[in-house]
Chains A and B, each alone.
Chain A
């Protein structure tokens, strides 16, 4: 509660208890998901709705931005404002939207290919800037929508349509990448651990700054290596392992762990760094989107005088 209140005052919004109640049903989108039955993405959608509802974020104050992929279809299944942008560009679009109206709660959703592959450059730079975004990646370690090719998080040796003889490349590990790039909230969830995932997303939504919630969201159709069962057997919660998310080196070490034991939970969090919008003097007068347009006569005269 303390965090929520602090968060609320920082944002200039009302505290959770005072906000009109929002139910999971209120958050249902115009259509139902067309994901394959059993797709992990259902779990992410459910957890995100639950998190928004528990925080009573009003749907009209939330902007959910995605790229392209099975996972990126998510905004269409949610009743918040949404932008279904280009493949790999969600973070860039979301950054513009967040900076132009920092009273919105901007959530970004998408896939591993979308965020860590084609969108990798925007991802890294948004983290270094500590843009106030909550980024939920449905990491299924494969390209789902394009029917099963290698993704940047596919494990070495994985056979896919584009690597029929097994991949020889090393995958990217988003957790250490995010920690070292400057993200200020770095977590990993698993759709097989719904309650846990809801808490991680809630933590991200309440965090002022860039929050990554990389989520194992198994693709039942194209990934037969990293399945629901695979993660069920291996994932272990960081808080049960005595991890301290304010310890940078421990966070990195846990972030690199992979094998019989795969940690999930909050790896890293720091609250002492301002988010990008908090550093911008231009935003002192409120969101850009709400300002009147134009240049006053005195300012105009001064601009021309410079050129005479």
Chain B
């Protein structure tokens, strides 16, 4: 049973140093084996604006950043103004009373003013305020001061003993002040004795790439995908991964394809705008039959859109990327562990089927941070390279090597450039089994049909290898919440809240989008009483996709497209509204301007 469920909000302007107290708190929590989920609402601005970090911890898994805050730490007046009205009974607000004034708070909210001038005379600046507030929070949740002292010592060691002493002193003042002036929370923070790791989805995706044996990674910076590039750039040399920043996303995907063709595993990541530039080349990878993996971390579109906000708005872009029909795999990981595991899995599949693979993440998953059990991050993954011939010096068959040999599986053995005896040309023009163009001089409709069918047959082989989706929660629930990708956690939490309110709900979360287990999905859904589709976009992109693939039409829809992710109560409210018959499409209003 969970004994603690604590959500802390830290807000201020960009540049005020919100990340540091957030990181310190998260580290303290995960070292005690507590679960953490963090979501940072921010804007495309380097200084100013409003940044709000929600950090939630519990001794039970934390599925989302939740609905409410227990602690508010406003670093400026603006944050106080925006968030105080949402603080409820039992919550605590810590602020520097020298510069920040509270408006009226709801009954039962503990206002905890402290004066930086008084607690740290002669010292100034946001960082002092942050350290005092951080120390005070730790006191209220009864974390021993020594833990903070150790972290601060480590952090300021480089700046010398005086800096360490000053910061530890400031923290001590805040800690002691809280002890005598503020009411602590009625629990103390447990320690499960099993420390967890804490990171963002982009890091998990990058590490998944490393585990898969990616040797070539390239990208053009674009939020919210740049975290993958940054991780790769930092670790590439040590891991033997070449990392390149390319001139544009067209160059990115083509470079990755070139690298992949030589036999190394190549990966790239971008967001919707960059992905749009990659379309043609993705088709070319399928046409030349070169395995490559591309990650699209979605942000709110269209066009430049809202660069720092989340959305699941690229489904149809990805489905439709590139002209013509071609084999490919599209997968949307559902949580941070999945981000890691999906990459080696996808590489094995694209190597086997010699086609592009696309991972559809989004800002929530990629930049959101979660705790995870380090044991889940097993780098010792199976690696299957598919049919590559000629590597051990074997010569080609007597009747010659055909790169695009027509086979039942649609997969033709691949030979890598540099292999004696297997020289061939791969082409983005339609070609015959030999790689010879059939599109220029004269077009042979029979050859075209045969080779096109050969490529597309790969999809038949792929589907049975992908696990079918399964219901999570009670089979006989009143409501089935159907989602895809990153919304799994928040849907599960909404289910718990619904159960508390006497409404039974279950969840069917779709991860493998192409190829789609349409028949199984429909067979599951046809046994469900009421199916509501939850997605983070305007038009119900998944609902339309499911209908186009299967003819299945859901009973209702819960959608959000304001840039912010779902909070559990948004889904709960949607379920109630739809069950009450007041609407078939529920769009929550996000309560706060962030």
Contacts and interface: CB of A to CB of B under 8 A. Distances in A.
Interface stretch (B247-255, B355-363, B554-562, B585-593): B247-255
A292 B212 CA distance: 11
B133 interface: no
B203 interface: yes
Interface stretch (B158-166, B172-180, B193-201, B505-513): B193-201
A297 B425 contact: no
A22 interface: no
Given A82-B425, A86-B284, A304-B377, A96 B215 contact: no
A300 B284 CA distance: 34
Contacts of A223: none
Contacts of A75: 425
Interface stretch (A44-52, A100-108, A155-163, A193-201): A100-108
Interface in B118-139: none
B262 A293 contact: no
Contacts of A83: 258, 261, 288, 425-427
B293 to A, nearest CB: 13
A275 to B, nearest CB: 14
Contacts of B383: 293-294
A79 B437 contact: no
Given A65-B258, A100-B259, A291-B215, A60 B419 contact: yes
Given A30-B436, A73-B437, A84-B428, A60 B421 contact: yes
A289 interface: yes
Interface stretch (B73-81, B98-106, B234-242): B234-242
A175 interface: no
Interface stretch (B40-48, B263-271, B571-579): B263-271
A89 B250 contact: yes
A297 B379 contact: yes
Interface centre among B213, B215, B256, B383 (most CB of A within 10 A): B215
A96 B31 contact: no
B426 A58 contact: no
Contacts of A31: 436
A124 B247 CA distance: 9
A92 B218 CA distance: 11
A81 interface: yes
Nearest to A284: B240
A52 to B, nearest CB: 12
B423 A79 contact: yes
Interface residues of B, number: 73
Given A281-B237, A294-B213, A81 B424 contact: yes
B262 A101 contact: yes
Contacts of A304: 197, 374, 377
Given A100-B242, A295-B210, A308-B197, A68 B428 contact: yes
Interface string A272-308: 0000000011110101111111110101100110011
Given A294-B211, A299-B238, A92 B255 contact: yes
A287 B242 CA distance: 11
Contacts of A291: 215, 240, 264
B49 interface: no
A101 B281 contact: no
Contacts of B218: 96
Contacts of B257: 85, 93, 96
Contact of B440 (A30, A73, A88, A280): A73
B216 A96 contact: yes
B427 A76 contact: yes
Contacts of A93: 254-255, 257-258, 261
A86 B258 contact: no
A99 B236 CA distance: 14
Contacts of A89: 250-251, 254, 281, 284
Contacts of B199: 307
Contact of A81 (B195, B216, B280, B418): B418
A76 B425 contact: yes
A92 B210 contact: no
B416 interface: yes
Contacts of B259: 96-97, 99-100, 288-289
B258 A94 contact: yes
A121 B250 CA distance: 10
A97 B377 CA distance: 31
Given A96-B254, A125-B247, A294-B379, A103 B197 contact: no
A92 B196 contact: no
A288 B215 contact: yes
Contact of A86 (B207, B428, B435): B428
Given A86-B281, A100-B242, A299-B238, A125 B251 contact: yes
A81 B425 contact: yes
A271 interface: no
A261 interface: no
A71 interface: no
Nearest to A285: B240
A105 B198 CA distance: 44
Contacts of B435: 30, 76, 82
Interface string A100-138: 110110000000000000000110110000000000000
Contact of A85 (B237, B265, B266, B428): B428
Nearest to B383: A293
B374 A99 contact: no
Nearest to A83: B426
Contacts of B437: 73, 76, 84
B261 A308 contact: no
B335 to A, nearest CB: 16
Contacts of A100: 215-216, 242, 258-264, 266
A59 B423 contact: yes
Contacts of B280: 86
Given A75-B425, A92-B246, A282-B242, A99 B216 contact: yes
A285 B237 CA distance: 11
Given A86-B281, A99-B216, A104 B262 contact: yes
Contacts of B239: 295, 299
Nearest to A79: B423
B213 A85 contact: no
Contacts of B210: 295, 303
Contacts of B246: 92, 125
A95 interface: yes
Interface string B407-443: 0000000001111111111111100001111001100
A121 B248 contact: yes
B251 A104 contact: no
Contact of A80 (B251, B423, B428, B436): B423
A31 B262 CA distance: 24
B30 interface: yes
A290 B259 CA distance: 12
A63 interface: yes
A104 B216 CA distance: 16
Contacts of A63: 262, 417-418
Lowest 6 CB-CB distances: which A-B pairs, in order?
A293-B213, A96-B258, A82-B425, A92-B254, A96-B255, A300-B379
19 contacts: A58-B420, A59-B423, A63-B417, A63-B418, A76-B425, A76-B427, A95-B255, A96-B257, A99-B259, A100-B262, A100-B266, A122-B254, A282-B237, A283-B242, A289-B416, A293-B212, A294-B383, A295-B379, A307-B197
Given A83-B425, A101-B262, 10 more contacts: A59-B423, A81-B417, A85-B428, A93-B255, A93-B261, A289-B262, A291-B215, A293-B212, A294-B380, A300-B211
Interface of A: 29-31, 34, 58-61, 63, 65, 68, 73, 75-76, 79-86, 88-89, 92-101, 103-104, 121-122, 124-125, 280-283, 285, 287-295, 297, 299-300, 303-304, 307-308
